[in-house]
A and B are shown apart, each in its own frame.
Chain A
Amino acid sequence: MPVTTIAGRDVHVDDEGFLTVYDEWDPDLARQLAAQIGLDLTDEHFKALTFLRADYVTQGETATLRRVSALGGIPTKELFSLFPKKPAKKMAYIAGLPKPHGCV
């Protein structure tokens, strides 16, 4: 598993740059990851990221947009404006979670 340096520390990532170790993430790292894909994080972004990370602990996989909207209470429309174009993938990337495996 490759190791890369983000925000001055070593983190484990997969081939596409998604973090592979849950506990290596923190909000500072999230800001760095977001900056790499051109996003500046606000409280609204963090609300989605917090839900995603908490949900991952109980479910063992990254929540879908529908789940974030239904259980996290953030409308899909808002997710598209917060994380434009590919919200599911971008949220997972910034939240330090595995890429959602767009169900087969």
Chain B
Amino acid sequence: MGLLNSYSQIFFSKNKILGILLLLVSFFDFWTGLGGLLAVLVSNQTAIWFKFNKLNVEKGLYGFNSLLVGLGTGIMFQPSLASLFLLIVLAIFTLFVTLTIEGVFTKYGLPYISIPFILVMWTANLAMSDLWYIGVSQRGIYFYNELYALGGQNFVDFYNWISSFQTPASLRIYFLSLGAILFQFNELAGIIIAIALLFSSRIAFTLSLVGFYVAYLFYQLLGVNFSELSYTYIGFNYILTAIAIGGFFFVPSRWSYLWLLLLLPITVILTFGLSKFFSYYQLSIYSLPFNITVLLFVYVMKLRTQTRNELVEPIEQRNAPEENLYFHKNVSERFPSAFYLPVYLPFLGEWTVSQAHAGEHTHKGEWQHAWDFVITDNEGKQFQNKGDFATDYFCYNKPIVASADGIVAELVDGIADNIIGDINTINNWGNSLVIKHSDYLYSQISHLKQGSFKVKKGEFVRKGQMLATCGNSGRSPYPHLHFQFQATPFIGSKTFFYPFAHLIKKENKYLELKTLFNPQQDERLQNVASNNLLLQAFHFIPGQVLKFNTVKNGSELLFEKVDDFSKIIENEWEIRTSIYNVSYFYCKKTNSSAFFKNDELLFQFINFEGNKNSALYFFYLAFYKVQLGFYNGLTIEDKLPQNNLFSQKRMIFQDFVAPFYLFLKAQYKLNYLSVDDEFSPEEIKLKSEILSFSFNKKIKQISFEITININGIRSFLMK
């Protein structure tokens, strides 16, 4: 458990193949490899026994430091019973150090990287003078002996053949440095690791080169002899720093790459300085410069008061730079906030924004995140007749409703309507309401009509419940509704940015669904209505099993739902909820999961993991985003993460340049075709499409014809 991950974690990855290759490479020196392997097994098993966080064991987080210690010990000592025992002791020691350091660092939101390994190795090194009798190994120095032991004369010849290539010295040092990570001091190990790294992640591979050569150039600039690196192999510090900063702790972007230009020289200086210091104690600095640079930078970046888009930490660490990038881009656009409480428009029917955020009249400074709403006719006029009286205004005396469930926290009534054009600067907010939706979310509604309140202070109100009617009180020259979100319960509190969950925007008779939307000036808006049939069809209950039959018809695939629970069907998906409260469909047969979110008005898939030929994958594509109200002719659009759609082959080149430019694009479209009956709908037809683009040229199109009836999702036909 967690064995291979413990290997791949060295490169912050969870790639199984990378793990296997690293495991193999570590056995170039058999005893070193064995030492590493034993240390991981002991450490992981101990962690499971003592019931430490099982997920971390699985991810290899408790294994990789022990692995490094195991490799380091393995190469240091001759195999013997005593050294075996020493290894076990050190492995468990490393685990304890890991856990302790994790406990301290986690408070600061910091990773512990290979600090435990360094501490344990130093301890072991310092103690070594007393451990001579175990037998210190001379391996790693007489490298050909090891090769010969491993693969005979042929292997030695093969190695010589590879070495005979005219490669620049720097590249050789690069390979040696890579190999040194696993205590394998030869180029072949480095080459295999490089290939494994390239296979597991194009970005990580690129970064390893970038890191190494930035440091190389800095050496040149300083006039330091770079070949010094070939002796100490300490160059891996630069490689790991580049991968960690450029692609792991931050979402890969041109900014994360640019930062390396500054951070690598820092690492170089650290390497020089620390080497001097530790050589006094006859200690190697191992990966200390890399650890210091990464911890320093990650910590410093956490202190930013505002996270700029340039350099962001991934929303969810997926242990692969590419996935971090694609997932982050997709999710941060679709779900900008993890802790969003849905709020809706505070009125019925269609209203128009007369002043948006940072508006020209009053939405300034601390009150800039507010909206004014009015009702307008087709020509954009707000009133009939001459507009001399409040009653001429279309919005006047229209009901105002709660934008979400909550408690009436504050209520002011008794301020008379102004005559048109006049303003009341003494009671500038007019008749107002503040509703508490959560501890940090309040909505304020102002300029209401005197005596129109239908609720009392302290009363619990439901979303959509009528509160009062629109008036013309306070600083309101003509009737309008002032609406804002704030963090405190007082009338006139400072506002903050908080968008509406979903709404329908009307533009030239076309309806557009907007999610997490901040209404802008002059936009015509209305709330989203839901459809019972759709609500039912997309209400999935944990434990529920969906069964779909696949019927193949030429190039078309028809998936039909089977309601018979006793039958065993090709595709069976169970609805589960993860410990992070995320629901997902799980297909046991293909070991695939499709994560989704349903906030009662919108069903959305968050991500898909697993087999891309499974029916569940097509299900994920077909229902990527479904609004649960039926609007004839409404089109919904969204973007899919590249890695969930394009083939591995297509992705390779994209991966290399992904931090700079995404030329592959995947678009999702959903059309609402027909409903048989508005009052008691029994059948709804939808059509979804997945369009793939390369450099804005359409390369592929998949469409799904969807039928939904009283039994839920009836079928979807893939073309």
Q: Do A and B bind each other?
A: no
Query: Could you list which residues of chain B lie within 8 angstroms of chain A, going by C-beta atoms?
Result: none
Query: Could you list which residues of chain A lie within 8 angstroms of chain B, going by C-beta atoms?
Result: none
